[in-house]
A and B are shown apart, each in its own frame.
Chain A
Amino acid sequence: MKDPFLQISNISKTFNHFTALNDISFDIYKNEFVCLLGPSGCGKTTLLRIIAGLEEADHGSIKKNGEEMLHLPPVQREFGIVFQSYALFPNLTALQNVEYGLKNKKVSKAELKQRAMEALQMVDLEQIKDKYPAHLSGGQQQRVALARAIALSPKFLLLDEPLSALDAKVRKKLRYEIKCLQQKLGITTIMVTHDQEEALTMADKVVVMNNAQIMQVGTPEEIYFHPANPFVADFVGSINIWNHHVEGVTKAIRPEHIRLSKNQGMKSEIKAIEFRGATYRIELEVIDSASPLYSQKIEVDLFASSIQAFNLKRGSIIFVQFPENQVLTYKEQVVY
Chain B
Amino acid sequence: MELAKKVNIAGRLSKKKRAVQGKNEQLQTILIIFVILSFMVSLILPLSALFGQALYDREGNFAGLNNFVKYFSTPTLVTSLQHTAYISVMTMFISVGLAFMYAYSLTRTRMIGKSIFRYAALLPLFAPTMMHGIGLMYLFGNQGLITSGFFGFSPGWEIKLYGPIGIIIAETVYTFPQAFLIIYIALQHTDYRLYEAANTLGSGRLKQFLNITLPSAKYGIITSMFVVFTLSFTDYGAPKIVGGQYNVLATDIYKQVVGQQNLSMGATVGVLLMLPALVAFFVDHVSQKKQSMYITSKAMGYKIPGNKGRDLLAFLYCLLITCFIMLLFVAVGVAASVKIWPYNLGFTLDHFKFSSFSGDGLTAYKNSLIAAGITAFVGTIFTFIFAYSIEKIRKKRFLRKLGYLLSIIPLSVPGLVIGISYVFFFSKSELEILGLSVSNPFHFLYGTIAIIVIANILHFYSVAFVTATTALRKLDKEFELASESMGVPFYKTMFTVTIPMCLPAILEIAMFYFVNSMVTISAVVFLYSADFKLAAISIVNMDDAGNISSAAAMSVLIVLTNIVVRLLYEWAVLGLRKRNAEWQK
Q: Do A and B bind each other?
A: yes
Chain A residues in the interface with B (C-beta under 8 A): 52, 54, 73-76, 78-81, 83-85, 87, 89-92, 100-101, 103-105, 132-134, 148, 152
Complex contact B481–A83 (CB within 8 A): yes
Separation of A311 and B255 alpha carbons in the complex (Å): 102
A-chain residues with CB within 8 Å of residue B24 when the two chains form the complex: 73
Q: Per a CB cutoff under 8 Å, which of B10, B481, B501 touches A54? A: B481
B173 to chain A, nearest CB (A): 42
For A105, give the chain B residue with the smallest CB separation: B13
Complex contact A73–B488 (CB within 8 A): no
For B488, give the chain A residue with the smallest CB separation: A104
B-chain residues with CB within 8 Å of residue A83 when the two chains form the complex: 478, 481-482
Q: List 19 A-B contacts (CB under 8 A).
A: A54-B485, A73-B21, A74-B485, A75-B485, A75-B486, A81-B482, A85-B476, A89-B493, A89-B497, A90-B584, A91-B500, A91-B501, A100-B486, A100-B488, A101-B488, A104-B486, A104-B492, A134-B584, A152-B486
Those of B499-528 within 8 Å (CB) of chain A: 500-501
Complex contact B585–A76 (CB within 8 A): no
Of B14, B486, B487, B489, the most chain A CB neighbours within 10 A belong to B486
Complex contact A54–B486 (CB within 8 A): no
Complex contact B488–A134 (CB within 8 A): no
Separation of A132 and B581 alpha carbons in the complex (Å): 11
Tell whether B245 is near chain A: CB-to-CB under 8 Å. no
A-chain residues with CB within 8 Å of residue B478 when the two chains form the complex: 83-85, 87
For B487, give the chain A residue with the smallest CB separation: A75
A136 to chain B, nearest CB (A): 11
For B10, give the chain A residue with the smallest CB separation: A78
Complex contact A89–B21 (CB within 8 A): no
B435 to chain A, nearest CB (A): 41
Q: A76-B21, A78-B14 are in contact. Are A89 and B496 (CB under 8 A)?
A: yes
For A133, give the chain B residue with the smallest CB separation: B583
For B21, give the chain A residue with the smallest CB separation: A73
Label chain B's interface by main secondary structure.
helix
Tell whether B440 is near chain A: CB-to-CB under 8 Å. no
B-chain residues with CB within 8 Å of residue A132 when the two chains form the complex: 582-583
A71 to chain B, nearest CB (A): 11
B168 to chain A, nearest CB (A): 49
Complex contact A91–B497 (CB within 8 A): yes
Those of B12-27 within 8 Å (CB) of chain A: 13-14, 17-18, 20-21, 24-25
For A158, give the chain B residue with the smallest CB separation: B485
A-chain residues with CB within 8 Å of residue B25 when the two chains form the complex: 73
B-chain residues with CB within 8 Å of residue A79 when the two chains form the complex: 485
B416 to chain A, nearest CB (A): 41
B-chain residues with CB within 8 Å of residue A85 when the two chains form the complex: 476, 478
Complex contact B481–A134 (CB within 8 A): no
Separation of A152 and B487 alpha carbons in the complex (Å): 10
Separation of A91 and B579 alpha carbons in the complex (Å): 11
Complex contact A81–B485 (CB within 8 A): yes
Complex A-B, nearest 9 residue pairs according to Cβ-Cβ distance, in ascending order: A101-B486, A75-B487, A87-B478, A132-B583, A73-B21, A87-B482, A83-B478, A75-B17, A134-B585
Q: Per a CB cutoff under 8 Å, which of B479, B487, B497, B583 touches A101? A: B487
Separation of A103 and B489 alpha carbons in the complex (Å): 11
Tell whether B310 is near chain A: CB-to-CB under 8 Å. no
A150 to chain B, nearest CB (A): 12
Q: Per a CB cutoff under 8 Å, which of B21, B492, B493 touches A75? A: B21
Separation of A92 and B496 alpha carbons in the complex (Å): 9
Q: A54-B484, A83-B482, A89-B497 are in contact. Are A134 and B583 (CB under 8 A)?
A: yes
For B582, give the chain A residue with the smallest CB separation: A132
Q: Per a CB cutoff under 8 Å, which of B18, B496, B500, B501 touches A76? A: B18
Tell whether B483 is near chain A: CB-to-CB under 8 Å. yes
For B500, give the chain A residue with the smallest CB separation: A91
B476 to chain A, nearest CB (A): 5
Separation of A208 and B295 alpha carbons in the complex (Å): 38
A-chain residues with CB within 8 Å of residue B18 when the two chains form the complex: 73, 76
B376-408 interface bits toward A, Cβ cutoff 8 Å, 1 = contact, 0 = none: 000000000000000000100000000000000
Q: A85-B478, A91-B500, A92-B496 are in contact. Are A74 and B484 (CB under 8 A)?
A: yes
Separation of A104 and B580 alpha carbons in the complex (Å): 25
Complex contact A80–B485 (CB within 8 A): yes
B357 to chain A, nearest CB (A): 51
For A90, give the chain B residue with the smallest CB separation: B583
Separation of A81 and B484 alpha carbons in the complex (Å): 10
Separation of A89 and B582 alpha carbons in the complex (Å): 13
Separation of A85 and B102 alpha carbons in the complex (Å): 42
B-chain residues with CB within 8 Å of residue A133 when the two chains form the complex: 583
Complex contact A92–B497 (CB within 8 A): yes
B-chain residues with CB within 8 Å of residue A105 when the two chains form the complex: 13, 487
A102 to chain B, nearest CB (A): 8
A57 to chain B, nearest CB (A): 14
For B479, give the chain A residue with the smallest CB separation: A87
Of A79, A91, A103, the most chain B CB neighbours within 10 A belong to A91
Separation of A79 and B482 alpha carbons in the complex (Å): 11
A111 to chain B, nearest CB (A): 13
B-chain residues with CB within 8 Å of residue A73 when the two chains form the complex: 18, 21, 24-25, 484
Of B476, B489, B583, the most chain A CB neighbours within 10 A belong to B583
For B480, give the chain A residue with the smallest CB separation: A87
A79 to chain B, nearest CB (A): 7
